[in-house]
Structure 1
Amino acid sequence: MRFKRSALTAAALGALTVGATTVLAAPASAAPNTTPQKVCGSAYKTVNSVPVGSLGTTYLTYNSSTGQNCVVTIRSNPGIAVNMSAWLYVPDTGEAAEDHGRYTSYAGPAYVYGKGHCVDWGGHINNVYVQVNNSNCATAKENRLTFTR
């Protein structure tokens, strides 16, 4: 009987050790299941980004062969659908694009022609909003805003 108890105790401790090691080895947060290039297209290079609090990131990308900008907001931890957005505006031309809704992983893509122009862009996840004005232009200083509603 003593042997059975020791064997059971050892087996239980072994299982707990394996379980604890598995829990400790897991990342603190799940990696996003996409990238800006998967959403916008492989020819789009990330030229700017802004964190949406700790919930994710909004990315501004650019395709140099077409002059198109693309914006996408990607969650850090994909899961149940939440309110999200990604938007882009070119003040010089008045061209704008946006995508908003309830999404599990990302909002976007939203595309506008932006070659040679400053762009304003941003997005949100849940109640955290980000906005970048006068972005990617030499004539004006970039202005970043993060706020909650």
Structure 2
Amino acid sequence: MGIMRNVAAAGALTALVAGTTAAFGATAHAAPNVTPQGVCGSAYKTVNSAPIGSLGTVYLTYNSTNGKNCVATIRTNPGTVKAMSTYVYVPSTDEWAGDSGDFTSYAGPSRVYGKGYCVSWGGNIANVYVSVENSNCAALKEHRSTTIR
């Protein structure tokens, strides 16, 4: 069952990255000095993060009031548009959300209800992809991977 969920999560990410831009077209966010709270909301506190090479960072945030996780991918140096994405997936509930397109400074917010659950999350900037599986839960050790395509 766990393998099927991992396959589903990988499939969801692939579909998100490949299909969302084609379906909705390219857009651009223009916001210098972006923070995870600026993208997700001031009630969201950063609980984890992963560098995307030297290009930026993907942040996992949590809002204890509503039990939601939010993920934002933020570039280190905003500028011309680059392909970017962000996703968050809760394997136990099969709920996921994501954002992808051509952006100047950030992708997201992507939010799911995650209170009491392990979450998988990640994002990309240009050709550098980061994923974190089984994150922020006591039962499992998280697994991080970075891929350059």
TM-score normalised over the length of structure 1: 0.78
- The residue matched to 1:137 in structure 2 has which SS? coil
- The residue matched to 1:116 in structure 2 has which SS? coil
Distance (Å, rounded) in 2 between the aligned partners of 1:127 and 1:33: 23
Q: How does 1:124-135 map to 2 (within 5 A)?
A: 124-135=124-135
Quick one: which amino acid aligns to residue 61 of structure 2? T
Q: Which residue of 1 aligns with 2:5?
A: none
| Structure 1: gaps of 5 or more residues | 1-31
- Identity value in percent: 68
Q: Deviation digits for residues 69-104 of structure 1, max 9, x if unmatched?
A: 000000000000000000000000000000000000
Q: Does residue 143 of structure 1 match 2:135?
A: no
Q: Does residue 107 of structure 1 match 2:107?
A: yes
Q: Deviation digits for residues 20-72 of structure 1, max 9, x if unmatched?
A: xxxxxxxxxxxx52100000000000000000000000000000010000000
The root-mean-square deviation of aligned C-alpha atoms, in Å, is 0.6
Quote how far apart the aligned CAs of 1:143 are. Answer: 0.4
Higher RCO (C-alpha 8 Å, min separation 6):
2
Q: Which residue of 1 aligns with 2:37?
A: 37
| Structure 2: gaps of 5 or more residues | 1-31
Q: Which residue of 1 aligns with 2:12?
A: none
Q: Which residue of 2 aligns with 1:58?
A: 58
- The residue matched to 1:43 in structure 2 has which SS? coil
Q: Which residue of 2 aligns with 1:7?
A: none
Q: How many residues align?
A: 118
Quick one: which amino acid aligns to residue 93 of structure 1? T
Give the ranges of 4+ consecutive aligned residues of structure 1 lying more than 2 Å apart after TM superposition. Answer: none
- The structure with the largest alpha-carbon Rg is 1
Q: Which residue of 2 aligns with 1:78?
A: 78
